[in-house]
Amino acid sequence: MRHYLITTHQPPKFYRVDGSIAEVELTYVAQKDYWTLDGSGNLTNKLICSGSSSIASGHWMVRNIEGAIEELQKAEIYPFESKQAAKQYAKQLAITSFKYLSIP
């Protein structure tokens, strides 16, 4: 998992490595379909609805995750390798109000 430090705004703003906050234009969707196989090989579908939230049931509700990551990189926003690393860095920069955005 990769972890971004984000603000509590909706949609979130992102923290850069220097602690500054950046607003990146991303396309969010209200729902996503996830298809998975269970232990018996049965196909199941889960529909995630976000309402007005950018994160729902642990899922980042952007239209295209890889495209969103590219946009974040263009804005010099990079993920941390672990939540612990993100937390430690936020503490070093005295960032007290933040959330984690975890993505695979």
pTM of the model: 0.85
- In this predicted structure, the answer to whether residue 53 has a pLDDT above a threshold of 90 is no
Proportion of the chain above pLDDT 90, given as a percent: 90
| Structural domain for 35, as ranges | 2-103
Using a pLDDT cut of 70, give the percent of the chain over it. 100
**Total of domains in the chain:** 1
pLDDT in tens, 29-38: 999 998 999 9
CB 6 within 8 A of CB 13: yes
- Secondary structure of the chain as H, E, C letters: CEEEEECCCCCCCEECCCCCEECCCCCECCEEEEEEECCCCCEEEEEEECCCCCEECCEECECCHHHHHHHHHHCCCCCECCHHHHHHHHHHCCCCCCEEEEEC
